[in-house]
Structure 1
Amino acid sequence: GFLYKKGTNSINRDWKKKYVVLLDDGRLIYHPSLHDYENESHGKEIILQRTTIKIPGSNKPRIALRSASNDNKLNDLTSSDGAIIISNSSVTPGIIDQVVHSSPLGKIETPNAKKRHRRVQQTNPTNLINNSTTPKQISNNNYGDDDGDENVFIIVSLDKQWYFEAQTNEERDEWVQAIEQQILFSLQNIESSKAARAAKIGGPTMADSASIQTIKQIPGNGFCAHCEQINPTWASLNLGALICMDCASLHRNLGTHLSRVRSLELDEWPPELVQIMRSIGNKLANSIWEANIKNRVKPQPNALSSERERWIRDKYEQKLFLAPLTISSSLIRQSLIDAIHKSDLYTIILILAHRKLSNEDINSSLLHLAASQGNVTILQLLLWYGADAFAIDSNGRTPLQCAQGDCIQILQTLTNNNTDLHTNSQQIKPTSISPQHSTIPRQRPPASSPGPPYDKLPSTVI
């Protein structure tokens, strides 16, 4: 059907009428006119697989996907040549619960709807169907400054946004619901194909969707760790926090030394990563990283990108809100050892966040201790903060040789990518490092030994 689309050019932000088609393979294609669609020309496509959809002024979806058992009616929604054709007419909510494959493209009617905006007169009248209302003028101000945006929806990816407007609120909801359904289908296809591929090649087991959903049940994870947008769907692995898509795109600018971003819905999740995210969560993470915000006000879900970025950089780069470290410098390493013994994640994260320990301090025994306890979360945090997975202790042992439980798999992945160091390594009894006897000197590996090939490793272990 016909929708208005806002120009993305910084110079030309006018709204133009487009003929938009939603395909059943997870693509949305818009054409300048119906004639261009029929000739399959001048079409631009949006891959819905890695997008989400928003409604301006709403912090939560205005409509929800319904199961086919709830509604079985279909009004004005047909399938032709692999495309879902949606007419510009009012529909019953729940329209996309069932897709009917019927006759080829028929007559499409666009009612004369009273627009709240003024549209730019750039649409060719010959392209309008059944004498639709001619577009009117609209100001070039940023969208959302007036009260006429209730029929608008936005398709959002990590680096781009597409603004569309329907003639009526009901028609807008129809499009939103249909697009959400196609996004869901695309994600389900990804999950099925990944599972089949892993089974075929004997790849690592990935957590099922139910396990991943348990991450959202951790205290504080129902809202973005920064702007408190509800239902965040992205994660920062090394921070152990859930964030919304808008904040996730800014996290990528920080660099992986500060934040490692992964989608809950689009990326693979080994059980080890699920365990890490469940061990930390937004409440614990923010009790450390936002312990001292003073008079600063956190950004809201509708905050500008510049406001979000300033908050995120102040939080992680400048560490302006970080909880103070009240431990004397001479006791920091011993305190970290004690915290590892007690699985005290608050103290571990706080000490690592202040970066008061050198890599040599960490490598001398701490990684061996975490590996010997089989604590995946602590082991992975130490690796992310610069610990050497191939460090040698005073007895000539590597962390892998001390590892227990799921830590073995993480370290084995590193070892398999650097077999020169470990061709003769074998599992031995875990090292025993007590809080009272923890100053074990570190022996460096031979100078000729290659370093860990981090460029070849998955983000799970680096």
Structure 2
Amino acid sequence: MNNIRQEHNNSTSIRQEIQRFEGVHPNIYAVYELIQNIEDINLQSQIRDHVINIEDSFVNSQEWTLSKSVPQICLGIVGNISSGKSALVHRFLTGSYVREESPEGGRFKKDIVVDNQSFLLLIRDEGGPPEIQFSSWVDGVIFVFSLDDEGSFHSVFNYFRRLAQFRSLNNVPLILVGTQDSISSENPRVISDERAKKLAADLKRCAYYETCATYGLNVDRVFHDIAQRVSLSRRKLDYVSSSGSGFSAPSTPLHRSVSTSSGIYNSNNSTPIGESSLSIAGLFTPTPLRKSSRRKSNLFSARKVSESEEKKRLNDLGFGRNIPVKQGWLHKRTSRGKISNKDWKKKYVALEDDGKLTYYSNMHDYRENIHKKSLYVMRTMIKVPGRHPSVSTKSSPVAKSEENLEFHLVSMDGDTWQFLTSSVQERDSWVTALERQIMLSLQSNSSHANIKQHTYERSLNEIAGNSVCVDCGAENPTWASLNLGCLMCIECSGIHRNLGTHISRIRSLELDDWPPECRSVIEKVGNLICNSVWEGNSNIQIPKPKPTASREEREMFIHDKYERKLYLLMLPSKYGADIGSSLCFAIADGNTQLIMHLLAYATKEHVTMQIGPEQQTALHVASSVGDLASVQLLLWLRGNPCQEDALGQTPLRLAEQNGHQQCYKLLNTNRPSQNGSHKQLPQQYDPHDLRRHVNYMYTSAI
């Protein structure tokens, strides 16, 4: 009966303490807000220091207002600003989700029941790496990282190592949490379940959970698990202490009447060896180090992150080393000019298991993981250039050979990393490793595709001809070539990647983002129109591969079809004689098949060719009529959004005048930086006359 009454009294005291805490804390934060309005910086700093002292006393006052018999658990939450730890804590405390991350953490209280016993749970959301006072205070630690952020993942081990410098973690319960809240089509998952579990194993006796604060997945379970582990750890240590083994109980709130700053205790006395008086500092919940110009942020009120805090976030990203799946010395080409042996420089290159390719200037930089440049290979294309005569010079890094020893990585934005190996075997080994890593990266992200993206994928497959691969006929294609406007299977997409972005720009329907201009191309063209152009040569028997065809058969056909253009429909002489003019007429009439046919033969000169007395290009016409798909296709062929016609009009200006917002946005994004400003129109020209004049220039039937 006495135990039941004591438990009831403890529970009541805990609830009253939490109500007191929650009732006063908003007023303290309101004072911080008012301090910001004080113009005198010195006065502002002095008042801030006094309020901080008041806040510290208030936060820790339960140490003497509550009975010493009331048990409490001191829980530390550690992770960088990208980890999602603040949202995790907020969900546990309030049952609601907030996206805003608190850069300086916070201190909170909540009652929790473990094994039918009430505890006062003191939660410390640490705003940075753990310090010595924090380390000596905690009974258990939750390490948090975001499943879509490499930096937050790497920070965990650094924080663990720092914590271990201040105290032994053998008896400190630990939990590792991966948060899902930031995962989206724009921010796919990059930390696999295997990597997370491996990190948990490295932290020793550490459980792993994946949580979603948005929907509350596993949030309560994490906090109850860590509290249960702390309670179990205490019972074990109590048993060891009471059995007369000579070990003393740890310095936790449940076991001590007072806490000290020393970690060395006499087994017969609570006073630390070498200390004659008690240290008051140990009684307090640790206070984070605050700069005089910064107040402690309120977790429950969103605010904008300042520039200084953003710099702190970037500097706070921890370092770590992923497992290299392949590494070695290669020569990297650093210039974009004509190929020359003097342009190659020796680099140490490492391909890591997270799909990141990194190169270093020397072995020291690799060991220290500094002075590096990285590229994620998942959204790149691998290209092995055709053979060319080798140049034999004293400075040449390779021996004379008829084989081309290069391989290139081409990103979606056109950047190229060129590498040179010492043998064909080494080149093929790197290419195989890269292709395998690309495939693994894509597969690991496939489970996180957005529902909206799946809906869009189904709508594209419903377009006539899009239900099968454009090259081999395999059902339900999930990859697309943007500039060809067609869908294909994953096997054929891998071969298209090697063609280069100047021939085929590959994108996944499931994994990649689809801006309006890319969607418009696929919706406008499709597999039927694509094959009517690229397989339109009826004079040649086309050896189209089947879905079960080997990779060699697919490669031969795809290279013949798109690179060598063996099956391309011949262009009638009336169009071929003036491709630039024909392209303008086709865009004005909306003839998609003719547009794609002409673009298959067109060069940059045709796209930028100025036609007629108005001196307009095909991009002028597409912009004036609002043909978003044609605008994108012409930009991929190096059309110039700032090229002026005879009236001083640019495609960018025409799109704006005619109200084609998507075309304008796309053109504005792709305009040359040196032509950032546009000429003002002469006053004698009426914009409405210009629009009417442009829109109907090329409306004659083709």
Aligned to 2:542: 296
SS at match of 1:242: strand
- The Cα of 1:273 is off from its aligned counterpart by 1.7
> C-alpha deviations, 1:313-349, integer Å up to 9, x for none?
1111111011111133435444323211210011111
1:402 aligns with 2:678: no
Instruction: Measure the CA separation in 1 of the matches of 2:580 and 2:482.
Output: 24
1:315 aligns with 2:567: no
SS at match of 1:160: helix
1:275 aligns with 2:520: yes
1:420 aligns with 2:676: yes
Aligned to 1:160: 436
Q: Structure 1 pair 39/374, CA: closer, same or farther in 2 (3 Å)?
A: closer
1:187 paired residue among 449, 464, 484 = 449
> C-alpha deviations, 1:374-433, integer Å up to 9, x for none?
011122222222322221101111101111422112112224855634386899443345
Letter in 2 for 1:361: M
What is the TM-score normalised by the length of structure 1? Answer: 0.50
Aligned to 1:387: 639
1:210 aligns with 2:455: yes
1:34-433 equivalent positions in 2, closer than 5 A: 81-82=208-209, 159-160=435-436, 185-188=447-450, 209-292=454-537, 294-328=540-574, 329-355=576-602, 358-361=606-609, 364-365=615-616, 366-403=618-655, 404=658, 405=660, 406-415=662-671, 417=673, 420-422=676-678, 428-429=687-688, 430=691, 431-433=694-696
Tell whether the 8 Å contact from 2:619 to 2:651 is kept in structure 1 after alignment: yes
Letter in 1 for 2:584: I
> C-alpha deviations, 1:83-136, integer Å up to 9, x for none?
9xxxxxxxxxxxxxxxxx9xx9xxxxxxxxxxxxxxxxxxxxxxxxxxxxxxxx
Aligned to 1:146: none
SS at match of 2:542: coil
Instruction: Measure the CA separation in 2 of the matches of 1:273 and 1:291.
Output: 24
- The Cα of 1:307 is off from its aligned counterpart by 2.0
Larger relative contact order (Cα-Cα within 8 Å, sequence gap ≥ 6)? 1
Tell whether the 8 Å contact from 2:465 to 2:528 is kept in structure 1 after alignment: yes
Letter in 2 for 1:400: L
SS at match of 2:507: strand
Tell whether the 8 Å contact from 2:586 to 2:592 is kept in structure 1 after alignment: yes
- The Cα of 1:271 is off from its aligned counterpart by 2.1
Tell whether the 8 Å contact from 2:457 to 2:478 is kept in structure 1 after alignment: no
1:435 aligns with 2:698: yes
Instruction: Measure the CA separation in 2 of the matches of 1:284 and 1:240.
Output: 9
> C-alpha deviations, 1:58-84, integer Å up to 9, x for none?
xxxxxxxxxxxxxxxxxxxxxx8459x
Instruction: Measure the CA separation in 1 of the matches of 2:490 and 2:665.
Output: 30
SS at match of 1:262: strand
Q: Structure 1 pair 381/388, CA: closer, same or farther in 2 (3 Å)?
A: same
Q: Structure 1 pair 312/158, CA: closer, same or farther in 2 (3 Å)?
A: farther
Letter in 2 for 1:160: R
Letter in 2 for 1:386: R
- The Cα of 1:282 is off from its aligned counterpart by 0.7
Q: Structure 1 pair 425/157, CA: closer, same or farther in 2 (3 Å)?
A: farther
What is the TM-score normalised by the length of structure 2? Answer: 0.34
Letter in 1 for 2:509: L
Letter in 2 for 1:229: A
- The Cα of 1:40 is off from its aligned counterpart by 6.3
Between the two proteins, the alignment pairs up a number of residues equal to 278
Q: Structure 1 pair 160/349, CA: closer, same or farther in 2 (3 Å)?
A: same
SS at match of 1:372: helix
Letter in 2 for 1:355: A
Q: Structure 1 pair 184/338, CA: closer, same or farther in 2 (3 Å)?
A: closer
Instruction: Measure the CA separation in 2 of the matches of 1:407 and 1:37.
Output: 47
Letter in 2 for 1:384: W
Task: Provide structure 2 residue ranges, at least 5 long, that are not aligned to the other structure.
Answer: 1-177, 181-188, 211-220, 226-431
Task: Provide structure 1 residue ranges, at least 5 long, that are not aligned to the other structure.
Answer: 1-22, 31-35, 42-79, 84-100, 105-155, 164-178, 192-206, 438-462
Instruction: Measure the CA separation in 1 of the matches of 2:500 and 2:563.
Output: 10
Residue identity over aligned pairs, in percent, reads: 33
Instruction: Measure the CA separation in 2 of the matches of 1:423 and 1:267.
Output: 37
Letter in 2 for 1:358: H
Tell whether the 8 Å contact from 2:482 to 2:506 is kept in structure 1 after alignment: yes
- The Cα of 1:27 is off from its aligned counterpart by 3.0
SS at match of 2:480: strand
Aligned to 1:125: none
Instruction: Measure the CA separation in 2 of the matches of 1:410 and 1:417.
Output: 14
Instruction: Measure the CA separation in 2 of the matches of 1:359 and 1:161.
Output: 37
Letter in 2 for 1:27: S
SS at match of 1:371: helix
Q: Structure 1 pair 250/184, CA: closer, same or farther in 2 (3 Å)?
A: closer
Q: Structure 1 pair 225/436, CA: closer, same or farther in 2 (3 Å)?
A: closer
RMSD: 4.4
